[in-house]
Amino acid sequence: MPRTLAEWFHLSPGRSSFKPNVQRDRQSVFCHESQINGEIVMSIERRFAAGQTVKMVLYGDWGVGKTHSINHVSWWFEQNSKDFPAKTILVELGDITSKSRFDQLVGPFLERIGLRELIKLVHGYQGATGKHVVADLKSKGVSGDVAEAFGKLLLASPEETPPPAVVTSFDFLRGIRSKESANIGLGEPLAQSDDFYSVLLACGLLVRAVEGRQLIFVADEAAKLEDIDNDDATRRHWIAANRAIFDDNNDVFGFVYTLSGKGEKNMPTVISDAQIISRLGSSNLIELQNLDPTDVTTFLGKLRDAFVDKAAVEAAVSSGEINAKEYDWTRYPFTDDGWREFLDYWNMNQEQAKPREICDKLDDVGFRAMKDDLKLIGPDSLRKAKM
Amino acid sequence: MSIKIITDGVLSSFADLVQANSRRLYRLWLIAPWIGSADSGIDPVYRIVEAMKGTACRLIVITRPPAAVWHLNAINSLRRHPNHEVFGSAALHSKLYIAECNGFRAAIFGSPNLTPAADEQNKELAVEFRSTRSGREEPVSAVISELMSYASALRMQDDVRPLE
């Protein structure tokens, strides 16, 4: 059996490397603590306090920890559901071309919610409001065909397999073009930005009425939207959709974009457009920066505490498996020189000082040390990993 | 400490470095006979100016007195940073870029002018030095100190004058 990093470095049960997992570790904050607990949570609290929905653009370099941060925010909402009742729907943007319309996002959001859940919500909405679903959604700003399509979901019982007409309505709302939608009385396939906005609005209204929660859509990796900048008509379509989403008039659902890239000025136009940024407000445009030298030290300390079985390490020190003279828990799994040089590397290479890069390098130097039968990582292992 | 040869996107590399260290940057030297800027997007001069926004970093620019509008425009872009000094020397041929930060210094010298063409089209060659040490005991730090001394002395030479 080949050696594993987990055994060699006495990682905690279930850990196979030094890399956090966005789902499993969503409750943990390994870095950006001041920004998450400060700017991000502050932005959420401020919007709730003002009776507004959460609207935010979170940006930063690739691998800086945006996805982890946004997953942590979802966890935070679960923990604070009493004071901040919200439900987050997170999707990563798929392939985007210069002709991709807003259904490229709306479709995956609906799929993430799921048809069965939507059917339950529509029935719940009718029960909670006591009103005719279609008429009521229309009265709250949902466009005609979209409201009709949501109304058709009532044809299904929440516990049974949905009939074809309901599946067709669901597809219609996702922006899928089919002949069947005309056969069940729905109009032309959805194509306009205000129609797609209406789909999100209707979902937000359903969740608010049935669950008493704010629905927050999160679109991860929106930097892919830069391809849209190359087509005028598509760009206008997305700007119109985003303008509606981030406008104060939208007090029904929240929306968060995360963007990878170097700086605010390099965002896709469909987000950085002045009309959108002015609606969003500069305090809701939050940058996650690379880790400065102090942050790197803190990050490594938190990883160590979460990932390493300290009792097992100290038993290995007592048994002589780890050289007691070289061992210090606050530097584990490094020797003194290895620790200093590892930190120095990130100090000198701030462009790369991002959690993903640091974890990759930590796994790499750990692997080199393991190959050389070294229980602590020293400068030689760093050289071999080209650090 | 590190020494690296750079042949592609030398100025973008330097802009990356400035951007990543902007929170601890306290002095930046830009020495190049020619300076040009697209003044948007990924242009290195633009990115450097953006990275320094809101910082107290001192910017020192030494270049040839501009004869072309594009050169003057690029200098004016750099002048948007409040804490700047711009000097002109008709005989300037050196190309040297230094970032001084708290706890870190980096210098790049070689063939590229500070222009979009040098970054994207020309065949260029440069050497980059990085060190977290100060003083002259550690070799790379000693080279950076020498380059800083060169830059500082250059500014004091008779034919180098502040550009109005």
A216-256 tens-digit pLDDT: 999 988 777 787 877 888 889 989 999 999 999 999 999 99
Residue of A nearest to B129 (CA): A348
Report the run of H or E that residue A90 belongs to, with start and end.
strand A86-92
The gap from C-alpha A127 to its chain's centroid, in whole angstroms, comes to 32
Greater model confidence, A262 or A104: A104
Summarize the confidence of residues A251-271 as an average pLDDT.
Answer: 84
Mean pLDDT across chain B, nearest whole number?
A: 94
How distant, in Å, are the alpha carbons of A354, B15, B57 from that of B102? 19, 18, 11
Q: Residue A1 pLDDT more than 70?
A: no
How distant, in Å, are the alpha carbons of A94, A218, A314 from that of A255? 17, 6, 47
What are the pLDDT digits (tens) for A121-161? 999 999 999 999 999 999 999 999 999 999 999 999 988 89
What is the SS3 assignment for B159?
coil
Strand partners, B102: none
CA distance, residue B33 to nearest chain A CA (Å): 27
Greater model confidence, B136 or A137: A137
CA distance, residue A263 to nearest chain B CA (Å): 9
**Cβ pair B23:A293 closer than 8 A:** no
What CATH code is assigned to A33-288? 3.40.50.300
A6-20, A255-269, A345-359: segment of lowest average pLDDT: A255-269
Q: Are B61 and B84 in contact (CB under 8 A)?
A: yes
Q: Does B120 touch chain A (CB under 8 A)?
A: no
Report the run of H or E that residue A383 belongs to, with start and end.
helix A379-384
Q: Residue A173 pLDDT more than 90?
A: yes
> How high is the pLDDT of residue B104?
95
The gap from C-alpha A165 to its chain's centroid, in whole angstroms, comes to 33
CA distance, residue A22 to nearest chain B CA (Å): 25
Q: What percent of chain B has pLDDT over 90?
A: 87
Task: Give, in degrees to the nearest 5, the angle at Cα B51 between B45 and B56.
Answer: 115
**The two structure tokens encoding residue B159:** 């034919």
> How high is the pLDDT of residue A99?
83
Q: Which residue carries 């040297």 as its tokens?
A: B96
Q: How far apart are CA A276 and CA A236, in angstroms?
A: 12
What are the pLDDT digits (tens) for A335-379? 999 999 999 999 999 999 999 999 999 999 999 999 999 999 999
Domain extents for chain A?
Answer: 5-18+291-384, 33-288
Predicted TM-score of the model (pTM): 0.84
What radius of gyration, in Å, describes the C-alpha atoms of chain B? Answer: 15
What are the pLDDT digits (tens) for A302-319? 999 999 999 999 999 999
Q: Does B77 touch chain A (CB under 8 A)?
A: no
Q: What percent of chain A has pLDDT over 90?
A: 71
> How high is the pLDDT of residue A73?
92
**Cβ pair A351:B40 closer than 8 A:** no
A237-241, A327-331, B13-17, B26-30: segment of lowest average pLDDT: A237-241
Contacts of B19 in chain A (CB under 8 A): 262-263, 351
> How high is the pLDDT of residue A7?
94
Q: How far apart are CA A382 and CA A367, in angstroms?
A: 10
Position A382 confidence tier, pLDDT thresholds 50, 70, 90: very high
Summarize the confidence of residues B26-55 as an average pLDDT.
Answer: 91
Contacts of A293 in chain B (CB under 8 A): 103
Report the run of H or E that residue A200 belongs to, with start and end.
helix A193-211
CA distance, residue B20 to nearest chain A CA (Å): 5
Give the closest of A262, A263, A348 to B130, CB-based: A348
Q: Residue A87 pLDDT more than 90?
A: yes
What are the pLDDT digits (tens) for A178-187? 888 788 888 7
> How high is the pLDDT of residue B136?
85
Q: How far apart are CA A339 and CA A326, in angstroms?
A: 11
Q: Which residues of A touch B (CB under 8 A)?
A: 262-263, 265-266, 289-290, 292-293, 344, 347-351, 353
Contacts of B16 in chain A (CB under 8 A): 262, 351
> How high is the pLDDT of residue B37?
92
A58-62, A198-202, A339-343, A362-366: segment of lowest average pLDDT: A58-62
Q: How far apart are CA A328 and CA A376, in angstroms?
A: 10
Amino acid, res. A37? N
Contacts of B118 by beta carbon, 8 Å cutoff, 6+ apart: B10, B11, B111, B112, B124
Summarize the confidence of residues A170-175 as an average pLDDT.
Answer: 93
> How high is the pLDDT of residue A378?
96
> How high is the pLDDT of residue A264?
67
**Cβ pair A263:B2 closer than 8 A:** no
What are the pLDDT digits (tens) for A93-116? 877 787 888 888 899 999 999 999
Amino acid, res. A303? L
